[in-house]
Amino acid sequence: MARTLKNRFESRFLIRFLQSPSLFVSCFTTSRSLQTLAYEEVRSSGDRKSESTALILHGLLGSGRNWRSFSRSLASSLSVSSASHWKMILVDLRNHGRSAEVEGLNPPHDLVNSAKDLADLVKASGWKWPDVVIGHSLGGKVALQFMESCARGDFGDTASPPKQLWVLDSVPGEVKAEKSDGEVEKVLKTLQSLPSPIPSRKWLVDHMVELGFSRSLSEWIGSNLKRSGDSEIWAFNLDGAVQMFNSYRETSYWSLLENPSKETEINFVIAEKSDRWDNDTTKRLEKIANQRQHVSEGKVATHLLRNSGHWVHTDNPKGLLEIVSPNFFSPHE
């Protein structure tokens, strides 16, 4: 039965590719040397010599694989709508995914070092500096730090800031405890209180539901477990992730938004039903966007994603694609 379904899927995919070869994208896990971040690549069809590069950064306790589906959809959409060919790098940030096993990613586990990890990966891989960086939640602030560090020359004279950032439901300023419902803090404290190793994924999900967390959130947390003998262990470095979250909360990029580099564009996607935003932050961001409308002087823009909470790539991936794709940077323009 499984083989039959697999054959049917492969046949449908092959037919679709033969009908529309421009929609073909590839996704594979690449090797990486020690002390550089783990990653996967999603490529659109076309000449690899003329490829542009985009980095995709996940949120807290996530990994690059969370963005496979959206990245494939985006690459396919860009293949149809423009002459550009894209290589999307789905990064596992330090302390997350396969990067949690990488030696040499030393403390402090903050946004500055997380951005430096990206620069080290670009240099070690021999890639061009990315034209676009997309970051969700924690990854959104890593993207802002990466742009700021590039502009300051922290990564050397050859580094150039991304032409475009997409900051997905990530507030640019400090995150005050009194301005949030504390859900993330509650999750982290709960995870720190759990036994190690975890008895089983089912035990974890049931335990978190009993503590009052939603089943969907509990199951997502459970998806971050991996088998170790007869038990389960985290696929992330929890203590390091907590330090990264603290850096996320304490760091502000308002000055970057008020004085962005020329010929760059910073796009914020605000989820309509997200609990991450307050009225003061939204108004301040929109005021800057109204003052920064030209790429030549450094542009800031906001986009409202309807019918979505914080998890934009799963709550409304179609709506997110409809915002990002037509506004995506084109090197040929």
Burial class (CB in 10 A: 0-12, 13-18, 19+), 178: exposed
At residue 94, the pLDDT reads 98
At residue 20, the pLDDT reads 41
Give CA separation, 283 vs 146, 167, 225, 307, 309, in Å. 25, 17, 39, 20, 19
Q: Note the pTM of the prediction, 2 decimals.
A: 0.88
What's the rounded Cα separation, in Å, for the pair 162 and 266? 9
At residue 81, the pLDDT reads 72
At residue 6, the pLDDT reads 39
What are residue 275's DSSP bridge partners?
none
Residues of the chain with pLDDT under 70: 1-34, 45-49, 82-83, 177-181, 332-333
At residue 7, the pLDDT reads 44
101-156 residue pLDDT tens = 998 999 999 999 999 999 999 999 999 999 999 999 999 999 999 999 999 999 99
What's the rounded Cα separation, in Å, for the pair 188 and 190? 5
At residue 47, the pLDDT reads 57
At residue 58, the pLDDT reads 97
At residue 56, the pLDDT reads 98
Please name each of the domains of the chain with its CATH number. Answer: 24-175+244-327 (3.40.50.1820), 179-239 (no CATH)
45-82 residue pLDDT tens = 665 667 899 999 999 999 999 999 999 999 999 888 76
For 148, residues 6+ apart whose C-beta sits below 8 A from its C-beta are 115, 253, 256
CA-based nearest residue to 118, from 101, 135, 107: 135
CB 132 within 8 A of CB 329: yes
